[in-house]
């Protein structure tokens, strides 16, 4: 089981080294902005490294929305990130499930997801696995609770789609962690990546506030059980920089009985 962290994009391999991480996730552009990613000068070094790379798409992306002025640039930005992630031989591109606005029909949101994959297929398909991540909040989300996730996966049935399970988002989003992996896999058939985070917000609070693994409102033993059951690579997106994340990675290795 490869274990790593979400890190600053300036020098991901140095960040991996300070955390003894076997995997890193980072942004390729401002996560709150619409700028397309620039080619990285360290692409060769990143590709050659014995560290698995994951790219997180910007938070502004929402391919589900009925708002054209968000949805259309979201598709383009997602495809641009997939191309840039492929340049790095990234293992996956993580993108949030998105949502529709209050009063809009969620069914259209799921169909907008299908259109996003159709749009990518027109130019040969996404060149890296796209991992859709469950989210914590909102009443009109496509991937907050598993009933919505099942409808999303129905809509995407024709395409190869990956899934990223965020433990903080599941708990804060209102899904019990007990047996969660089985219930997710019954829908998606797969978990490609786990975002291992404790949660500052309580169960079903809707709050996306990550905490270190032994802090927060989730029993750390339950977190470890979910991660073990998922049997997928793990990225911690926890606070405290190299110290906090390094401790979280060491905690997981100890609990899971794996060596770096």
What does the binding site for Zn ion look like in residue numbers (CB under 5 A)?
166, 195
How many CA atoms within 13 Å lie on the side-chain side of 154? 11
* Residue closer to Zn ion, measured from CB, 44 or 78: 78
* Residue closer to Zn ion, measured from CB, 52 or 166: 166
In the complex, least distance from residue 206 CB atom to Zn ion, rounded to whole angstroms: 15
* Residue closer to Zn ion, measured from CB, 39 or 202: 202
Quick one: CA dihedral 228, 56, 30, 155, positive or negative? negative
In the complex, least distance from residue 173 CB atom to Zn ion, rounded to whole angstroms: 11
Q: What count of other Cβ atoms lies within 10 Å of the Cβ of residue 242?
A: 18
* Residue closer to Zn ion, measured from CB, 57 or 100: 57
CA distance 202 to 205: 5
In the complex, least distance from residue 68 CB atom to Zn ion, rounded to whole angstroms: 27
Quick one: CA dihedral 189, 104, 208, 36, positive or negative? positive
In the complex, least distance from residue 188 CB atom to Zn ion, rounded to whole angstroms: 16
Residue 51 buriedness (CB in 10 A; 0-12 / 13-18 / 19+): middle
* Residue closer to Zn ion, measured from CB, 99 or 195: 195
Orientation of helix 220-230 relative to helix 241-256, angle to 10°: 70
* Position closest to Zn ion via CB: 195
Joined together, the tokens standing for residue 121 give 């297929």
In the complex, least distance from residue 195 CB atom to Zn ion, rounded to whole angstroms: 3
């Amino acid at each position: 089981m490869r274990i790593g962290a979400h890190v600053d994009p300036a020098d991901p391999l140095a960040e991996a080294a300070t955390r003894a991480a076997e995997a890193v996730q980072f942004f390729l552009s401002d996560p709150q902005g619409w700028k397309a990613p620039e080619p990285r000068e360290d692409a060769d070094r990143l590709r050659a490294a014995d560290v698995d790379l994951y790219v997180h798409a910007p938070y502004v992306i929402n391919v589900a929305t009925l708002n054209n002025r968000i949805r259309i640039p979201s598709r383009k930005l997602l495809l641009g990130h997939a191309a840039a992630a492929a340049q790095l031989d990234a293992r996956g591109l993580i993108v949030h499930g998105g949502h529709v606005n209050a009063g809009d029909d969620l069914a259209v949101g799921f169909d907008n997801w299908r259109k996003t994959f159709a749009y990518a297929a027109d130019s040969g398909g996404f060149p890296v696995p796209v991992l859709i991540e469950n989210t914590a909040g909102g009443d009109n989300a496509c991937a907050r609770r598993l009933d919505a996730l099942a409808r999303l996966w129905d809509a995407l049935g024709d395409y190869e789609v990956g899934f990223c399970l965020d433990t903080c988002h599941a708990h804060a989003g209102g899904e019990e962690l007990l047996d969660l992996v089985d219930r997710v896999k019954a829908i998606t058939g797969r978990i490609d990546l786990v975002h291992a985070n404790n949660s500052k917000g309580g169960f079903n609070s809707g709050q996306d506030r990550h905490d270190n693994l032994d802090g927060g409102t989730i029993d750390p033993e339950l977190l470890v059980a979910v991660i073990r059951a998922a049997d997928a690579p793990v990225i911690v997106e926890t606070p405290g920089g190299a110290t906090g994340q390094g401790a979280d990675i060491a905690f997981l290795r100890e609990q899971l009985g794996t060596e770096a």
